[in-house]
Structures are given as C-alpha cells and as structure tokens.
C-alpha cells in the first residue's frame, strides 16, 4: 500500500503547507491550519480516451454548431426572490446562500421548496443539522404541507446522491454544505477538502441532470462564507441574506449571478409565520422619520432596477479633540471626508474642527454617487442647525469643484418619490431634458452645490 501523506490546509483561504504554522501565509489568520490526509494518487498510469470513458460522441465542436436552447426559468411565486435571481430559478444552476446564524436562510429555502412543491414540482430538502422531526416542526409553523416535498436528514454524500437519483427532483436544498462529507476523504466535515469535493459533486449533479441545487453556507466572523474562496467561484450564484437579529427586516443581495444582475435586492420581513415580502420598501424606511429636524433629508437611491427612497441623517458637533471624528454607517467613510472638504473649500463652512456622524436609516448600505447631494445637504443642515423641507427629495452627484453631475435613471427615482407623496425633487440640471415630469411633484434643477443648498434651505437667512 502507498504510504499515506498528510498536509496542513488553512480553513479560511485553502493555503496548503507541508508543515504546521501558527499563522497562515495566505490570509494572515492565526491557528487556521489543520492537518488533512492526502488521497493516494492513481498509480496505474493509464490514459483515458473518449471510447474508454463511454462518451465517444462527446468531443470538442465549434460554438456555431452548438444548438442554442433557452430553457424557461422556474417561477418561485416570490417576486422579491425572482428579482434577485434574475427572473426565476434556472434549471441546472448551483446557488450558494450565505448569512449569519439565525438570520432566516433555512426559513427562506423551506418556504421556497413549499411554493415549488405546490406547483407540482418534486423537491428534496436535505438537512444535515436537523432531524426529520425537527424539520417537520418548522414546516408546521410555516404552514408547509405538500406531498411532493421530500425531507432527508443525511450527511453522507453517497447516500445523498442515491436519494437524488431515486426521487429525480426539480430542486434540491442542502442545509448546510459544511455538514456534508465524502467517505473517500479522511478529513472532518467542514474542512477545506470536504467542502471543495462535496460542492464539486453537487455541481456535477446540477449540470448533468438539470437539477437546481441550493446550498446553504456558514459565514465567518468577518461575514464571508466559510471555506475556501474557490467555493464561490464554483457556483453560479452567490446570495447573501443580510439583516440584524433584533430587527424584523431582511435583505437578500446577490454578489455573483451568472444568469442576471448583481445589483438587485429583495427585502423581506420576518413574521411569526415566516418571511413576508416587502412590496414597497421606501415606505418602510421612511415610516419613523421625524418631521422638521435639522440634518435629515430623503434621497432617491437605486438598487439595481428598483428605486428606493431612504432617509440620510447627519450630526455635526464641535469637536473637543485635535482630530475630529468622522463616523459613517451605511455610506462610504471616505466619501464623507470628500464632501466635507468640498463644503469647506467652495462654500466657506468651517468644518475642520467639527465631529461628523452620518447614518442611513433602516440599516441600508448605499454606495452609488447619486446620494452625494443628499449627504452634502444633511451636513450643511446640521452644521447651520436649519431644518430641511420634509417634502423634499434630492438626488445628484457632487464633483470636487462643487458642480452637480447627472445621474442614471432619474425618471424612475422621481416617479417613486411622487408615488409616496413628496412635493418637490431637487435633481441635476442636466437631467431635466428628455422626459415628462409627474404632475403632482415639482422638479427643480440645480447646477452647483451652492444652488442646491439655497433651494433645500431656502428659508434660511444665512448667506452662503
């Protein structure tokens, strides 16, 4: 028998070493290298051919001769999930779902399997962390009752493959990939080798049999999916379920999607009977807004194709330290420093001795430049202690010279604001051409930051 060899593999990044080290050279983390037994290589030295592998008809061919077949997507009956997936579930796709413990990953997927089972699709839910009875208790709480939904509590990859071959489902859910193991690999479940090999096996099942496979992945302390980065490269889509356990709202975001856009988000609310879709998230984010307060403005952001109106808050206060604080939640910290420098240089506001605290209400993360004008108005409003008009919504990118630059899809943003009852929208002057404004909202174009502040703080007696 060949002599068994061992290697040390980092459980975070997959770095391999012949000896143990306290700190991984690949990712810099401490105490992440774990010993794993290498599988013996095939010493026969035989080379395979198409005829020997039983795939004589399988050979390279020109792409122009490949028959293009467009398979219809599977409608999940959940518009929020359909939007994130790019229009529905693609047969034969491999989707990775990650998120913090207790955020609702298993609940979302169990509800998804219930919807598909009610559409007469055969669905297999494989749980490696719960028994069949525990899954049944959660299904009863969510009102899941369908004869074509099969539950299987197993972690052995060979037995899972047999169950999939026996049932031939339309969709398979693996909860979670860190519990599944290959018997031919000696390392423990959840190790880099096990996660890599089992994910590869599920990828072959999805592609060869046309079965949509959803995989639940654990996350690390930093919020990334546990295991090697190769795991995210192997799958077709990577979805993150975000939110805080003490709040009821959850955001489903795609960070990789081979079959659709990665800019879309889906918003859900956690109820006693499971997750409920939020049809109009703008109303949710604005329902607790305080009227007539300084340092607050509503911006029209864009998440993929969906316009979302959120409130931005700023608190500017004199600093008691030599280095003023710059704290931002939900927006880029560097963008705040840039806008404060523009306000100080172009408009003469003395902000270098002021602490700045920025917050996006509702826990939303905004990263597009169209919110620059809202951030600048918030800072100026709080610094001058002058309230903004609660019926205003602003959108625009701010340049280093103080100019207001055009933004994309301004029509969708303004129509969303008009639908929610806002009376005036402040937009870049260049965005006023080529479209028809809604009748119930006034659209004001501005070219510079000074003009924008005069409009948004028009009742102020201060000179800019």
State the binding site for ATP: 99-106
Tell me the H-state helices in 219-332: 230-234, 281-286
Give the sign of the dihedral formed by CA 181, CA 187, CA 193, CA 197. negative
Name the β-bridge partners of 237: 95, 257
Calculate helix-pair angle for 132-142, 105-118, nearest 10 degrees: 70
Three-state helix/strand/coil letters over the chain: CCCCCEEEEECCCCCEECCCCCECCCCCCECCEEEEECCCCCCCCCCCCCCCCCCCCCCCCCHHHCCCCCCCCECCCCHHHHHHHCCCECCCCEEEEEECCCCCHHHHHHHHHHHHHHCCCCEEEEECCCCHHHHHHHHHHHCCCCCCEEEECCCEHHHHHHHHHHHCCCEEEEECHHHCECCCCCCCCCCHHHHHHHHHHHHHHHHHHCCEEEEEECECCCCCECCCCHHHHHCCEEEEEECCCCCCEEEEEEEEECCCCCCCEEEEEEECCEEEECCCHHHHHHCCCCCCCECEEEEEEEECCEEEEEEEEEEEEECCCCCCCEEEECCCHHHHHHHHHHHHHHHCCCCCCEEEEEEECCCCCCCCHHHHHHHHHHHHHHHHCCECCCCEEECCEECCCCEEECCCCHHHHHHHHHHCCCCEEEEEHHHCCCCCCCCCCEEEEECEHHHHHHHHCCCCCCCC
Q: Within 10 A of 425 (CB to CB), how many other CB atoms are there?
A: 25
Distance CA 146, CA 42 (A): 46
Scanning the structure block, which residue is given the tokens 């975070």?
Answer: 12
Name the β-bridge partners of 213: 94, 172
Annotated binding site: 99-106
Name the β-bridge partners of 397: 405
- Closest by Cα among 101, 358, 404 to 225: 101
């Amino acid at each position: 028998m060949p002599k068994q060899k061992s290697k040390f593999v980092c459980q975070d990044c997959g770095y391999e070493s012949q000896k143990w080290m306290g700190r991984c050279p690949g990712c810099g983390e401490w105490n992440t290298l774990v010993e794993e037994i290498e599988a013996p290589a095939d010493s026969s030295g035989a080379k395979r051919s198409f005829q020997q592998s039983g795939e004589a008809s399988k050979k390279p061919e020109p792409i122009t001769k490949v028959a293009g077949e467009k398979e219809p997507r599977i409608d999940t009956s959940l518009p929020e999930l359909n939007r994130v997936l790019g229009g529905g579930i693609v047969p034969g796709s491999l989707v990775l779902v990650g998120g913090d413990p207790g955020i609702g990953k298993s609940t979302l997927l169990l509800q998804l399997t219930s919807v598909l089972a009610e559409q007469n699709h055969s669905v297999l839910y494989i749980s490696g962390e719960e028994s069949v009875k525990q899954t049944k208790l959660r299904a009863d709480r969510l009102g899941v009752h369908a004869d074509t939904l099969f539950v299987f509590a197993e972690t052995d990859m060979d037995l899972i493959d047999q169950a999939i071959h026996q049932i031939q489902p339309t969709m398979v859910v693996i909860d979670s990939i860190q519990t599944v193991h290959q018997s031919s690999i000696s390392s423990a479940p959840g190790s880099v080798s096990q996660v890599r090999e089992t994910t590869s096996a599920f990828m072959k099942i999805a592609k060869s049999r046309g079965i949509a496979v959803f995989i639940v992945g654990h996350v690390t302390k930093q919020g990334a999916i546990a295991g090697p980065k190769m795991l995210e490269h192997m799958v077709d889509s990577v979805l993150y379920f975000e939110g805080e356990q003490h709040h009821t709202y959850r955001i489903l975001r795609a960070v990789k999607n081979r079959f659709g856009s990665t800019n879309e988000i889906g918003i859900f609310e956690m109820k006693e009977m499971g997750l409920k879709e939020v049809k109009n998230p703008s109303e949710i984010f604005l329902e607790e807004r305080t009227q007539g307060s300084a340092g607050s403005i509503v911006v029209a952001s864009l998440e993929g194709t969906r316009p979302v109106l959120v409130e931005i808050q700023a608190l500017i206060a004199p600093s008691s330290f030599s280095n003023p604080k710059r704290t931002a939640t939900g927006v880029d910290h560097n963008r705040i420093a840039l806008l404060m420098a523009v306000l100080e240089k172009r408009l003469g506001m003395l902000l270098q001795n002021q602490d700045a605290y920025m917050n996006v209400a509702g826990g939303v993360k905004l990263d597009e430049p169209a919110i620059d004008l809202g951030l600048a108005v918030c800072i100026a409003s709080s610094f001058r202690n002058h309230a903004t008009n609660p019926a205003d919504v602003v959108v625009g990118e701010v340049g280093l010279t103080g100019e207001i630059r055009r933004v994309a899809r301004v029509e969708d943003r303004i129509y969303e604001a008009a639908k929610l009852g806002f009376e005036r929208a402040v937009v870049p002057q260049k965005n006023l051409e080529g479209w028809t404004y809604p009748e119930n909202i006034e659209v004001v174009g501005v070219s510079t930051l000074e003009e924008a502040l005069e409009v948004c703080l028009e009742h102020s007696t201060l000179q800019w």
